[in-house]
């Protein structure tokens, strides 16, 4: 969700700059590219979980003072 919000913010920033080369058709292409990039990064590049904690790993955590 954060990646999509970042893509949306980047799109809004580009639109607010009033760049002459950024026609409505190019803006649509940029929007699609940003959303696809955000989806790819959030699903492949960012992992929300680590290695599962097994019994040995849990015991090591408990034995430390």
For residue range 7-51, list pLDDT tens digits in order: 888 888 888 888 888 888 998 998 899 888 888 887 776 655 666
For the whole prediction, is pTM greater than 0.85?
Answer: no
Report if residue 23 sits inside a domain: yes
Domain that holds residue 29: 2-46
Q: Is residue 4 within 8 Å of residue 11, measured between CB atoms?
A: no
- In this prediction, residue 48 carries a pLDDT of 57
Neighbours of 38 (CB within 10 A): 19
| pLDDT of 54 higher than 80 | no
Q: How far is residue 51's CA from residue 65's CA, in Å, rounded to a whole number?
A: 23
Structure tokens at 6: 């970042």
The length of the chain in residues reads: 65
- In this prediction, residue 29 carries a pLDDT of 92
Report if residue 37 sits inside a domain: yes
Neighbours of 47 (CB within 10 A): 7
Neighbours of 46 (CB within 10 A): 9
Mean pLDDT, rounded, of the chain: 76
Report if residue 30 sits inside a domain: yes
């Amino acid at each position: 969700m954060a990646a999509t919000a970042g893509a949306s913010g980047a799109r809004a920033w580009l639109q607010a700059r009033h760049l002459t080369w950024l026609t409505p058709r190019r803006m649509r292409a940029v929007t699609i590219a940003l959303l696809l990039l955000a989806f790819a990064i959030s699903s492949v590049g960012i992992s929300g979980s680590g290695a599962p904690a097994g019994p040995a790993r849990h015991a090591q955590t408990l034995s430390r003072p």
